[in-house]
Structure formats: C-alpha cells, structure tokens
Amino acid sequence: MFRINRQILFCFNFAILCLLMLPVQSEASTKIKHKSKKQNSESSVVAPDKSIKDCNVCPEMVVVPTGTFRMGSNNGGDGFPAHTVTFSRPFAIGKTEITQLQWKAIMGNNPSHFAHAGDNFPVEAGVNFPVEKVSWDDAQEYIKKLSEKTGKQYRLPSEAEWEYACRTDEMQEFCGDDNVDKVAWYRNSDSPKWQNGAATHPVATKNPNSFGLYDMSGNVWEWVEDSYHANYRGAPTDGSAWEGDGERRVLRGGSWDFTPLNLRSVYRSGEDPTIRDNDVGFRVARTLP
C-alpha cells in the first residue's frame, strides 16, 4: 500500500513539475520567435557599408552597396519603362550636395547667388549651403581638380546610381520618405519665407534617407553624368551612365523653387549643360577599387 502511494506521489510531483516548466518554455519560445522576427526585419533594411573622406575640404562620401532595383516608372512620361538595374560593385556618393565651402576650397571662388545665406541666417552659415549657379561643365571642372588633389577618381553619379541611392530599398515617393516635408526644401506658397521655398537652405537640415544621404529631394537640382533621353528604352541595366549627343544633360531631385511634383524619386529633367541657375548644383560620386 505504501509503495502504491509512493508511486502515486512521484507521478503527481512529476506532473506538477512539468506544468511549472510550461510557462518558462513558452516564454523562451516567444523570445526566440521575437528575436528571429527582429533579425529578419533588420536584415531586410539596406545600410551603407561606411563613409569616406579623402581630405579636410573633400566631401564626405557614403559607400552604397551592391544591389538590384527597379528604375523609372510604368506610368508613362520620360521615366518609362520601369526596368531592372543591377550594381555588381559598390560605389561612393556624396552625403550632401557640394557646399559653397567645398567648392571655394577647390576652385577659389563662390559663384552662388545665395552666397551670403540671406538675412535670416548667420553669414558664416553660408558655407553649409549648397553651391549653385554651376553648369554641368563647371561641375566637371571641379571634379577634375578634386581628383587631381586627392588622386582619387571622382565623377558625377550616373542617373541610375543617383536614383538607386535616392530610393534605397524603400521605393518611396521622395528620396527617403513619402512625406515630402520630412526630407525636402521646396516651393510652398503657403509657408513663410525661409521655411519652404524662397531660397536654398543649409544642407543636411532635413531627414536623410536610409543610406544616410541628405537633400536628394529638393534644395537644388543635381547634375548627373548622363545625356538626356526621352525615355528609358535601351537604357543600360548595369548602372553605368547613358551616353548620347550631350546636347542636354540630366538633372534630378528638384529644388527649392519647384513643387513636390518635381521632387519625386522618379522625376527627370534635361537641360543645356551650360546653364547656370540659382537652383542648380550637384553632388559627386567616386569609383571604388
């Protein structure tokens, strides 16, 4: 009788122990599942490998990793057709548009219309404003001298590189967000002067995109290397610049003097490479070893 009771007691205690362990196992399982979900989420976010700067007055560059994306849009216009572009090698692109200080350090002058930043900003802040009133040809001259100074191969980004760097893997309406106010300075007649529109603004004062790049939408239009083509039929799929007659060069990103329609990630413009407007600047790219 005693042995039977002992066996019953042992089974009862074992059952209680198993029941007590269930919440622990369940909690551990929940934690593992949550961690796995978090890891999967993090791994889907594209991030730059690193940033580089070749000299004190050189632009800071973000290294953009290899990848594939859909360039353009199937909604018609000169962004048609959408097509797949694959980058087999990383490249570097300017974290910001070239500033007035960076330009002056290499070229010895400041061609900008907004060279003194206006009465609403300290004069010394003008060095952080994007350089403007530079033609495509002027940008090439800056790049040539910067390359000579550093021994590195600087250039304008290709149009495909520009859009890839703008859109990352987010594929948002603007470069970094679907809400234009978070990432861009642009014309807005309902806003007070110096809040939106009216002039350029200091670089990197809006949110960056997920690559850490600022002002790719708005502030100033940005020259890229490519000749302008009326659509993407026959465009390269390897990320290289699309050459042509050179009579018009591509501008991307929109500016402080344009509405959000022109600031969209897929929007393109083609202009005479000799124009110098107070809303046209550029950022540089660099070929990596």
Determine the pLDDT at residue 117.
55
Determine the pLDDT at residue 121.
53
Determine the pLDDT at residue 131.
96
Determine the pLDDT at residue 11.
44
Q: What is the largest CA-CA distance in the chain?
A: 106
Question: Would you write out the chain's pLDDT as a tens digit for each of its 289 residues?
Answer: 333 444 444 444 444 444 433 433 333 332 222 222 222 322 223 445 589 999 999 999 999 999 999 999 999 899 999 999 999 999 999 999 999 999 999 999 999 999 865 445 554 555 589 999 999 999 999 999 999 999 999 999 999 999 999 998 788 999 999 999 999 999 876 655 544 557 899 999 999 999 999 999 999 999 999 999 999 999 999 999 999 999 999 999 999 999 999 999 999 999 999 999 999 999 999 999 8
Asked if the 51-287 domain carries CATH number 3.90.1580.10, the reply is yes
The answer to whether the Cα torsion of 114, 120, 124, 125 is positive or negative is negative
Cβ atoms within 10 Å of 227's Cβ, excluding its own:
18
What residue segments make up the domains of the chain, in order of their start? 1-44, 51-287
pTM, two decimals, is 0.80
Find where tokens 């990197």 sit. 204
Determine the pLDDT at residue 21.
39
91: which strand partners? Answer: 64, 287
Determine the pLDDT at residue 58.
96
Determine the pLDDT at residue 48.
56
- For residues 91 and 58, what is the distance between their CA atoms, to the nearest angstrom? 16
Determine the pLDDT at residue 170.
80
